[in-house]
Structure 1
Amino acid sequence: MPGYLPKVPGAVALDPTTQTIRKGEYLARAGDCVACHSNPGAPQFAGGRPMPTPFGNLYAPNITPDDENGIGKWTADDFYRMMHNGVSRDGTLMYPAMPFASYTKVTREDSDAIYAYLMSVPPVALKNKPHELRFPFNQRDLLIGWRTLYFKQGEFVPDKGKSAQWNRGAYLVEGLGHCAMCHTAINRLGGSKTSQEFEGGMIPNQNWYAPSLTSNREAGLGNWSIKDIKDLLQIGVSHRATVYGPMAEVVYNSLQYLSDEDVEAMAIYLKELPQRDSEPPPTSSARLVSPNVMELGRKIYAKQCFMCHGDEGKGFPPSYPPLAANQSITMSSPVNSIRMVLNGGYAPGTMKNPKPHGMPPFAHILNDEEVAAVVTYVRVAWENSGTPVTAAQISELRTLIPE
């Protein structure tokens, strides 16, 4: 396990139990367990956080070592069975909001370390909230069919044709990181196809688009440097882009705490993902925008945006990201660009970037036509290959975003 313990000169060697707990804490960070199992302001891992889905609300369970409400009576075997098979201690099939389809790849040794860490945190006597799913999705027997279609059980098997570093990155990305859970589109049953893995998709009920990692027209990383990928994952900003929205939370809760070696391994794996473009290439007709719309967008950009992003959209990276030649601006889905103009946002505050720069919201300043014009402008100016957006799209998204 490279890098899971800090190297402190002169430090006293830890006993095996403490070392296992420290390793488990590191792995729990890598798995971003705290993001779902902790409510803001409440004790960590006490559960109760609502997880909106297209089928109703799920509530993350208490995973502290409380005997009555948490996992205090669980054994390491019980915990591994949950991680590996998606089955709770009492035999209940788990809903796939728990990413057991990814966690099944976690080794028994790492599962035991995470279990040891969770058993070491303070127990919290907070009762679990029952799920609020609509019929028939509240019938757990249906999960048998879902598992048949979308769940392949099995620990990670290294690719002998790849380096140890690549395999470490694959293990983290495909397993604990469960990156495909957001970056792969899901269907009406909440399942995703392996053949479309990492090709991007809307994150249900969050109204954010997780871009394709296999297309250089979106967030494909084939032409990125390893350093830029590492910086984006671990720091939240790089000379190529900045993370916002759900990915900012992942960096804040999880990736910033990983070792440089592990982040580099993830970067190497992600850079080598096979390039697959499910979207047709943009056509020239997509760039035909009304001159009036372009002029309105240019004026708004000159008044509100150019001081940070520059006359030619080159920005001042890494503090202020570029808009020209930025795939995240020109993706087929404009939802993220619209959200940033409406709501603004901050990159995560990380150990290597504790005081990030942010973008102010403009929802209270610009109407739907003006937002559409400026988003259209940045998607097609400076030889960007995006498509125009409409005021109707802005209005729809404005009503969907929680206040």
Structure 2
Amino acid sequence: MRNLSEARLTSIWRIIVCVAGGLLSLVQMASAQPLTDSDTEQVRRGEYLARAGNCMGCHTTRGGEPYAGGRKLNTPFGQFVTPNITPDKETGIGSWSGEDFWQALHYGKSKDGRNLYPAFPYTEYTKVTRPDADAIFAYLRSLPPIAQTNPPHKINPPYDNQALLYLWRKWYFNEGVYQPDKSKSDEWNRGNYLVQGLGHCNACHTPRNVWGASQDDQLTGGKIMGSYWYAPSLISPLEAGVSEWPVEDIVELLSTGINSHAVTSGSMATIVRQSLQYLSDYDIRSIAVYLQSLGEKKGDAKAPRKARKMPEQVRQYLALGQEVYEKHCQDCHGQSGEGIPKIYPPLAGNRNVTMSPPLNTIRNVLYGGYPPATAGNPRPHGMPPYQHFIRDTEIAQVVSYIRNAWGNRGSLVSPEDVDNSRGSEF
């Protein structure tokens, strides 16, 4: 009987504990502060802004969890690893405040006050407004926390010295939120803000000095640090300047990755796929309006020199390239390099083909590629890689040919140029 009474008491006690736990949960649920409409709107706005800045593109490694970091960025100064920015308290930014996040974005300083390396583009993000920074932080705080410890940076000496980084910031970092130009339209200013600030286009489309600092903020083009792609000038009509394009054509290229004039490839195709295609009609048009306002007209640019009479050796070299073109390229790009609009890009008159350096054209032949799959171009036509079945000599010949056929004028390409264009894919 005693054992039976003890068993009953134990059961009753368990029931009491369960009921008490349930009541406690109900009390906690009742006392929790639900998200207000204002909070929800801020999170939604932050998600949009994070997409506009392509934050996930850097803070997500291939096959990894979104925003958990771990992506390796190779530079001449060492290898940087992007951090976890999910709200995990141990490995992410779960213990950060809005002020901490603003300090990183605007001042380039970590939560502990340590100077951040400009592999994180705070040199551009400093232009982002405080309300936009707060919205992005609210969105990141709304994400599921992911416990992921990423490996440390591998910075080459002496660049791992914080004293040198302090001097670098003194010389090359100008902190300050974007100030609108009152002489310009709201649309132009919005485009300028997105391009120069949140979109950090200058991080790629600018030449850099030996210390890795942007030499200007005019989008004059440059080799993308740590990659084997060239980000063309957005000013020069001989590269990727669009001052003479209709705004609608610029919008189409940025939002779909392709139009009747051009197609995006390499790093830019990734930006279109991950970020630009999701921007609002107003924002993408604002970017187009701003880009259209930059640079020179074709008539202002230095006219290309007339082609000299080719030496016989050069003529023979290009003739060999023509044979490769007719065998492998002509079916898609046409006998006269005319292409098929919005399917296969034209090569005749194509600035991407003729610009210096010829890096992007060589890599497109080596590795092939597709325009980005976007809502406006969901089934893009692509080009296969050719490095597996034609030699570097033939690639050099065919690239030289298309850079000098149908009125194109470009430098010749050597097999050494082809070999030097190889590198890690994104």
Does the CA-based 8 Å contact 1:150-1:193 persist in structure 2? no
CA distance in 2, matches of 1:332, 1:288: 20
Query: Which of 286, 299, 309 is equivalent to 1:265?
Result: 286
CA distance in 2, matches of 1:359, 1:169: 32
Structure 1 residue 281: deviation in Å? 5.7
State the partner residue of 2:382: 358
CA distance in 2, matches of 1:339, 1:65: 39
Query: What does 1:167-186 align with in structure 2 at a 5 Å threshold?
Result: 167-186=189-208
Query: Which of 187, 200, 218 is equivalent to 2:209?
Result: 187
State the partner residue of 1:236: 257
State the partner residue of 1:10: none
Q: Which amino acid aligns with 1:244?
A: S
Structure 1 residue 42: deviation in Å? 1.5
CA distance in 1, matches of 2:273, 2:163: 36
Structure 1 residue 347: deviation in Å? 0.8
Compute the TM-score of the two structures, normalised by the length of structure 1: 0.92
Query: What does 1:240-389 align with in structure 2 at a 5 Å threshold?
Result: 240-275=261-296, 282-284=304-306, 288=310, 290-389=314-413
CA distance in 1, matches of 2:237, 2:84: 40
Q: Classify 1:216/1:287 alpha carbon distance in 2 versus 1 (closer, same or farther; 3 Å).
A: farther
Task: Look up the SS of the partner of 2:272 in the other structure.
Answer: helix
Q: Classify 1:135/1:61 alpha carbon distance in 2 versus 1 (closer, same or farther; 3 Å).
A: same
The answer as to 2:74 corresponding to 1:85 is no
Q: How many residues are matched?
A: 387
CA distance in 1, matches of 2:297, 2:340: 31
State the partner residue of 1:8: none
Structure 1 residue 207: deviation in Å? 0.7
Q: Which amino acid aligns with 1:355?
A: R
Task: Look up the SS of the partner of 2:80 in the other structure.
Answer: strand
CA-to-aligned-CA distance 1:99-120 (integer Å, 9 cap, x gap): 1011111111100000000000
CA distance in 2, matches of 1:181, 1:401: 19
Structure 1 residue 127: deviation in Å? 1.3
Give the CA RMSD over aligned residues. Answer: 1.8
Query: Which of 183, 196, 207 is equivalent to 1:161?
Result: 183
Unaligned 5+ residue runs, structure 2? Answer: 1-35
Task: Look up the SS of the partner of 2:273 in the other structure.
Answer: helix
Query: Which of 135, 153, 157 is equivalent to 1:113?
Result: 135
CA-to-aligned-CA distance 1:356-378 (integer Å, 9 cap, x gap): 11011111121122111110111
Structure 1 residue 225: deviation in Å? 1.7
CA distance in 2, matches of 1:18, 1:40: 29
The answer as to 2:241 corresponding to 1:217 is no
CA distance in 2, matches of 1:286, 1:349: 42
The answer as to 2:62 corresponding to 1:27 is no
Q: Classify 1:350/1:309 alpha carbon distance in 2 versus 1 (closer, same or farther; 3 Å).
A: same
Does the CA-based 8 Å contact 2:241-2:295 persist in structure 1? no
Query: Which of 242, 247, 255 is equivalent to 1:226?
Result: 247
Query: Which of 56, 64, 85 is equivalent to 2:86?
Result: 64
Q: Which amino acid aligns with 1:238?
A: N
Compute the TM-score of the two structures, normalised by the length of structure 2: 0.87
The answer as to 2:394 corresponding to 1:394 is no
CA-to-aligned-CA distance 1:298-325 (integer Å, 9 cap, x gap): 1111111111111111111111111111
Deviates more, 1:109-118 or 1:358-367: 358-367
State the partner residue of 1:5: none
Q: Which amino acid aligns with 1:354?
A: P
Deviates more, 1:180-189 or 1:221-230: 221-230
Task: Look up the SS of the partner of 2:243 in the other structure.
Answer: coil
Deviates more, 1:108-117 or 1:230-239: 230-239
CA-to-aligned-CA distance 1:81-110 (integer Å, 9 cap, x gap): 111110111101111010101111111110
Does the CA-based 8 Å contact 2:221-2:233 persist in structure 1? yes
Task: Look up the SS of the partner of 1:57 in the other structure.
Answer: strand
User: Which is greater in Rg?
Assistant: 2
